C-alpha cells in the first residue's frame, strides 16, 4: 500500500530516525520479526499474531537494561522470587583489591563482584550450581582468612533483618527538643568554625580504583 503523499511515507530504504511515525514503523517491524523468530525457535508452525497465547508470558513485562538478576519488571503481577543461593556478602580490609577477593573463590569458577563500599561487597558465583560445594568449605575459608567475614546471602539477610528489628525504636515528639532560634547561636562558635576551615570547603575524599 502506497501513501497518498510520497514525501510522508516510510520504507526500509530511507531512514527517518526520530520521526515519530518512522520510529513506530521500526518498532512494529522489529516486533513482527521477533514473533517470527520466536515461532521458528519454538517450532511453532502457525502464524503468531499480537493476541496469540504464545505471547501471553511476555505481556506487561518492562525490560530493565543492565540489570543482571531479573531483566524484566512485571507490570501486571508479583515479581518472581529470585534465586540467590550463589550470592555471598564479604567484609574485607580496605586495602584489598579485586584479585584478593577472587582468590578467596579460586576453587570455583569466575565470580561477579559488586562493591558496596571500600570494605564490603556482594560476590556471586558465575556457576550457581557450585553454591552447595562452596557452602561446605565456607567454615574452612573463614578460619583460614581471619581478616574477612564471609556469609551466604540468606544468612546475611536474616541477620540484618533481626538487627534492624531489635534496634528500631519509636521516637516520641514530646521528647524532641526544638532547635534554638538562629539568633541564639553562640557567635564565638560560629567564628571558631569558620577559622578552622579558612573559608574553604573540605577536600573531597579521592575514589580508590580497584585493581
In the block, cell 514503523 appears at: 25
For residue 80, being part of any structural domain is answered with no
Q: What is the model's pLDDT at position 178? A: 38
Same domain as 55, residue 99: no
The DSSP string of 77-132 is SPPPPPP-TTEEEEE--TT--HHHHHHHTTTSS-EEEEEEETTEEEEEESSGGGHH
For residue 8, being part of any structural domain is answered with no
CB 108 within 8 Å of CB 130 = yes
pLDDT above 90 coverage of the chain, percent: 22
Rounded-to-integer distance, Cα 11 and Cα 16, Å: 9
CB 140 within 8 Å of CB 134 = no
> H/E/C letters for each residue in 164-177?
HHHHCCCCCHHHCC
Q: Average pLDDT for residues 111-130, to the nearest whole number?
A: 91
Quick: pLDDT tens for 57-111.
888 888 887 666 677 888 888 877 777 888 999 999 999 999 999 998 888 768 9
Same domain as 109, residue 51: no
Same domain as 68, residue 92: no
Beta bridge partners of 90: 121, 150
Domain that holds residue 145: 87-165
More confident residue, 18 or 152: 152
Q: What's the pTM value of the predicted model, to 2 decimals?
A: 0.48
Same domain as 94, residue 66: no
Question: Residue 181: helix, strand or coil by DSSP?
Answer: coil
- Count of Cβ atoms closer than 10 Å to residue 34 Cβ: 13
Domains: count for the chain: 2
Same domain as 105, residue 149: yes
Same domain as 154, residue 91: yes
Mean pLDDT of the chain: 75
Question: Residue 141: helix, strand or coil by DSSP?
Answer: helix
Query: C-alpha grid cell for residue 190?
Result: 560560629
Which range has the worst mean pLDDT, 22-26, 104-108, 177-181?
177-181
For residue 209, being part of any structural domain is answered with no
Q: What is the model's pLDDT at position 84? A: 84
For residue 102, being part of any structural domain is answered with yes
Rounded-to-integer distance, Cα 82 and Cα 154, Å: 12
Q: What is the model's pLDDT at position 22? A: 84
For residue 199, being part of any structural domain is answered with no
pLDDT of 184 above 60: no
Quick: pLDDT tens for 7-17.
667 777 778 88
Amino acid at each position: 500500500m502506497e501513501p497518498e503523499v510520497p514525501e510522508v511515507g516510510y520504507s526500509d530504504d530511507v531512514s527517518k530516525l526520530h520521526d515519530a511515525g518512522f520510529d513506530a514503523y521500526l518498532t512494529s517491524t522489529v516486533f513482527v520479526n521477533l514473533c517470527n523468530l520466536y515461532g521458528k525457535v519454538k517450532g511453532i508452525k502457525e502464524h503468531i499474531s499480537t493476541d496469540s497465547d504464545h505471547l501471553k508470558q511476555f505481556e506487561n513485562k518492562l525490560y530493565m537494561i543492565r540489570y543482571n538478576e531479573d531483566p524484566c519488571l512485571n507490570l501486571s503481577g508479583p515479581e518472581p522470587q529470585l534465586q540467590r543461593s550463589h550470592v555471598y556478602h564479604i567484609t574485607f580490609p580496605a586495602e584489598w583489591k579485586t584479585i584478593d577477593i577472587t582468590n578467596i573463590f579460586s576453587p570455583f569458577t569466575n565470580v561477579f563482584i559488586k562493591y558496596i563500599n571500600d570494605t564490603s561487597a556482594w560476590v556471586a558465583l558465575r556457576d550457581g550450581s557450585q553454591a552447595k560445594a562452596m557452602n561446605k568449605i565456607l567454615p574452612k575459608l573463614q578460619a583460614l582468612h581471619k581478616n574477612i567475614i564471609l556469609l551466604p546471602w540468606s544468612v546475611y539477610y536474616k541477620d540484618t533483618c533481626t538487627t534492624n528489628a531489635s534496634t528500631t525504636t519509636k521516637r516520641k515528639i514530646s521528647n524532641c527538643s526544638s532547635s534554638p532560634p538562629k539568633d541564639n547561636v553562640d557567635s564565638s562558635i560560629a567564628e571558631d568554625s569558620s577559622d578552622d576551615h579558612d573559608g574553604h570547603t573540605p577536600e573531597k575524599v579521592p575514589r580508590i580504583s580497584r585493581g
